[in-house]
Every structure is written in structure tokens, then in C-alpha cells.
Amino acid sequence: IVVNAGNDNTFTGKQGERALEQVIKTVASQFKISEKKIFIASTGVIGEPFPTKKVVNAIKKRKTPSKNWIDAARSIMTTDTYPKGISIKSFIGNQKVTITGIAKGSGMIEPNMATMLGFIFTDAELDQNILKSLINKFVNNSFNSISVDGDESTNDTVMLTSTNAIKFKKKIRSINDKRLKKFKLDLEKVFSYLAEQIVRDGEGATKLIEINVKNAKNKISADKISRSIANSPLLKTAIYGNDPNWGRVIMAIGKTYEKVKSDKLRISFGNYLVAKNGQANAKINERMLKKYLSKDKININIDLNHGKEQARILTCDFSHKYIDINASYKT
């Protein structure tokens, strides 16, 4: 896996294609592996010519192999403020295995992945079909359930890879194999942790916001409403300023044009019920609510009372720093 940061090699035309071909050939020759086993991921500025010579020369330089995953995570950062990584021990049956993951991402983050890279590795012997099933199982509630600014990128990548170093007498043939029970729980933790770290490190972010929508008429409606709330600049700036302006949640729900029964709608900030039965909660303690909003983790809960489906998404606030970063990203 070859990863570069600073240039995402998109809208670079034939030059970008030739650059990838040259990088792949260089890696294949340098490490004596098949070109079909080389994967490339890029992140950075769109439309800038890919620095082929610089990347190829860097690959050709012989380096001492390193087991420091945090260094790898740090090397792929762009506007990130800290490297994101996690490594845990798990079990498949009675066999101890390791799961290690690194990720980058801070801006241009929206569900359906975004300008973020995530790489998760295990030493357990798992074939391609098992890995594919596992990533499909866990990506939707992790990397596909986050948003920083509502902007999808041209580039996004999440890979789940096995070195196959730990062998099993009886191979794993299905993700429903009972021996995978503990491993799946730990793998889900790795996916969720890395996704959350991307939001916590959102450009200029000061607060993590968890949006929970429940009792929606269907899953599509729940997802649509939760994402609309998460991507509202008005709500995100209100949370940054500790402003309990729940009307912005109402606005975000309304602009989805989903059918909602307003007289049954309930909205809470944390444990503070701010709206119910189509109107404000007259008994709300504004002072305590504002104090709650000053915390670095905020929960916004929406009960639609219109069905049984639910959705959850993580986002962050918008601060002055978000503008500062993105007003001069290229220049």
C-alpha cells in the first residue's frame, strides 16, 4: 500500500495516470512483488500535477523497516492536528491475534466516506471474501456515519488487510464462524474509534456532536434527517457558541421534506428536553442547558415517534478556525 499526502492526484489528466503507472512499477521492482498487489491512496490538493519524481525517488531510498504505526499515521496527515491510530489484541477462538488501524482526515468529510484514508490490518489468516464481508459489515456505522462539513471528496479509501501470519488448523470460511465473535467486536471498536477521531479532529472543531434519530418511519428517513441536522452550518455554529437554539434542529428536519408529525416530535440536548408536542418545553432550565452545551461532547436526540427505525451520525461544530484553515488551504 502506497500512500501520499499533499496531492490527491485528481483532475490531473494523463499526467496523473502515467504517474501512478510509474509509482506502481517502481514499487514492484523495489520490493519484488506483483503490480496487481499494489494499492495506491492519495490525499491533498485537487488539480495539482502529481510530483512523480519526488515520490519515485522517495520510494527508491532504502529505509530501515519500522514497526511504529504512529509514524505511519503522522506521515499521511494534511490538516490533521494529530496522528490517528489504534492497536488492540483480540482472539479468534483460542488464538491471539492483533488488529491495528491508522487513519487521516479532518476536512471535506461527509458520510459515504470523504477525503479520508483508513487502513486496518490484522495478522489473522482471513481470505479476501471474509475481509470484504467484514469491511462491509462495519463501514456503514463508522466511516460512513461521520461528517465534518458535509462535503464529499473526490478521494476516499478504507482498506482491511491481513498479513495471514497467524494460521488456523481449521480455516475461517464465513464471518458467521463462532470463533470470530470476539474478533468482530474488537474490529468494530477499531473502525468506530478511527472514525470518531476524524470527527474530533475536524478542521477547527472544538466539540464532538452525536446526532441520534429514533422511531423514524423507515431507515432512509432516519438517515436523511440525521445527516441534514449534522450538516447544518447554522446548528454547528450554534453549538460552537453554546447557544441552545433548537429551532435550527427543526429547520434541518424540515428541509428534508420528510413527513414528520410535529405534535409527536421530541428534541433533547443531552438529558434536557427542549421541545415536545409541537412546541418548546416551558420547563427547560436555560442556564443548565447552556452549561451542558459548553462541554466537548454534545448529544442531540430526536424522537420522531413515527415508526421503529433509527440512525446515528457523528459531526462537530464550526468555529472561526474552520474558516481560517479553508480560506488559505491552497495558498
Map out the domains of the chain as residue ranges.
1-65, 67-203, 208-326
Query: Beta-carbon neighbour count of residue 94 at 10 Å?
Result: 6
Return the pLDDT at 279: 93
Which residue would you say has higher pLDDT here, 114 or 60? 60
- pLDDT, tens digit, 9 for 90 and up, residues 146-172: 888 877 767 778 999 999 999 999 999
Q: How far apart are CA 91 and CA 108, in angstroms?
A: 36
Return the pLDDT at 115: 57
Return the pLDDT at 6: 87
Return the pLDDT at 326: 82
- Collapsed DSSP state (helix, strand, coil) of residue 115: coil
- Collapsed DSSP state (helix, strand, coil) of residue 142: coil
- Superfamily covering domain 208-326: ArgJ beta chain, C-terminal domain (3.10.20.340)
Helices (H), the chain: 13-31, 52-60, 69-75, 128-139, 181-200, 219-230, 233-240, 247-254, 286-293, 320-326
pTM here is: 0.88
Q: What is the separation, in whole angstroms, between the first and last Cα of the chain?
A: 30
* pLDDT value at 129 more than 90: yes
- pLDDT, tens digit, 9 for 90 and up, residues 240-273: 999 999 999 999 999 999 999 999 999 999 999 9
Catalytic entry in 115, 122, 157, 315: 115
What number of helices (H) and strands (E) belong to the chain? 10, 12
Active site residue 115: yes
- Superfamily covering domain 1-65: L-amino peptidase D-ALA esterase/amidase (3.60.70.12)
Q: Do domains 67-203 and 208-326 have the same CATH topology?
A: no
- pLDDT, tens digit, 9 for 90 and up, residues 49-59: 999 999 999 99
Work out the pLDDT band at 109, boundaries 50, 70, 90: low
Closest CA to 118 of 14, 67, 192: 192
Return the pLDDT at 62: 76
Q: How far apart are CA 260 and CA 174, in angstroms?
A: 41
**Residue 74, all three cell numbers:** 503522522
Please tell me the CATH code under which domain 67-203 is placed. Answer: 3.60.70.12
Paired residues of 124 in beta bridges? 166
**Residue 103, all three cell numbers:** 487513519
Compute the mean pLDDT over every residue in the chain, rounded to the nearest whole number: 92
Closest CA to 165 of 102, 100, 101, 98: 98
Residue 82 near residue 201, CB atoms below 8 Å: yes
Residue 8 near residue 42, CB atoms below 8 Å: yes
Contacts of 120 (CB under 8 A, 6+ apart): 99, 100, 101, 158, 159, 160, 161, 187, 190, 191, 194
Contacts of 233 (CB under 8 A, 6+ apart): 318
